[in-house]
Amino acid sequence: MPITITELRLAVVRLPLVHAFETSSHRKNHLDHILVRATATDGARRYVGWGECASPADPFYCGETTGTCWQVLTGHLAPMILGRPWQSTAEAAGMTAKVAGNNFARAGLDMACWDLFAQSRGMPLARLLGPHPAERVEAGVSLGIEAGVDALLAQVDRHVRDGYRRVKLKIRPGWDVEPVRAVRHAFPSVALQVDANGSYPPSDRLRLAEWVDDHDLLMLEQPFAADDLVAHAELARRIATPVCLDEAITSVAVLRCALALRACAIVNVKVSRLGGIGPAKAVHDACRAAGISVWCGGMHEFGVGRAANLAVASLPGFTWPSDLSGSDKYYRADVVTPPIRAQAGMVAVPLALPGIGVTVDEAVVHEHTRRSRTLRAAAYRTEAPEGVPR
């Protein structure tokens, strides 16, 4: 039976962070994400699916923000799908294909559609994505820029004691060699990688090449701007440390270009950055076919997005530890039950329930909601599926 979404409720939910997080561009003490609650039917049965737009609040990581996601969802994506039946997630995604870009906004709706589809089939999302999902995935932690090296070492020590075996450090020009050297000296056996979030100019490639290989790093992630694949390719030829691309990979087409240039040896697959579960799986499949290693990155997702990420990370191509640490690393209280937790650096993939495998605590969502809107299929003209309100 086809699935028809009859109602979408969007809520901007704010959760305070346990510990402030700083990257090369900004510092944050809380996260505002849009939760998408989709009510749908497939005949006599009714389902509720959830998605999450884990976009940044400001246009530093990418051009999208919480505000742009809200506008695109309410003004374009929601009207295109409300009240229109679909029989596969690909068909649902096709209904909004005319909207260019806006992958973070698109990911929230796509995630909700996959949750609905998996529930309608009575399957956990991970088993829908692949017949033999991993039951647990190895998780690492991502640590921001601290006030000083001692503060950073204290954060690394805390998480290593909690059982995490991989640590990712945020770096930028002026905060790179010293903190990396200090962490490697204090924790010689920890799996260590660094992420620049595109903060270095291409002219710094020679300086990077002088020190990166000295610290036994798993990878150097996104040193240059997202659109400068040539600079990444030139650096990759100069260093033995694998170059990983994150912000640069926004589609399978861009991935193919990066591989043709030999701009990376590893890809960070982010559901939000790529526009949803379907596109993330497509990039995973393309990388696996090309013999490229992948891992699952994160955007400090709440439990909804974190559960979806775990399902994606259960696919066989994810061979590196992922940014899927327990939600208690970031939030004192999450929006889902049971809470997502790590044990000895491993996180269980939700496999007990159909769909994304967690239950959303709507009381917690309501408590932390700063803005909400409900859109219903009846409010849109059937002759204009792209949606013009009456």
Q: What CA–CA distance (Å, rounded) separates 207 from 196?
A: 14
Which of the following is catalytic: 28, 98, 168, 270?
Answer: 270
260 CB-contact burial (10 Å; exposed 0-12 / middle 13-18 / buried 19+):
exposed
Q: 367: buried, middle or exposed (CB in 10 Å: 19+, 13-18, 0-12)?
A: exposed
* Chain Cα centroid distance, residue 167: 17
How many Cβ atoms sit within 10 Å of the Cβ of residue 258? 20
The yes-or-no answer on residue 98 being catalytic is no
3-state secondary structure of 332: coil
Category of 174 on φ-ψ map: left (φ > 0), alpha (ψ -120 to 50) or beta: left
Catalytic residue among 28, 98, 168, 170: 170
What's the token pair of residue 178?
């010293």
Q: How many residues does the chain have?
A: 390
Residue 28 a catalytic site member: no
State the DSSP H helix or E strand holding residue 354, giving kind and residue range, or none if neither: none
Q: Which residues are catalytic?
A: 170, 270
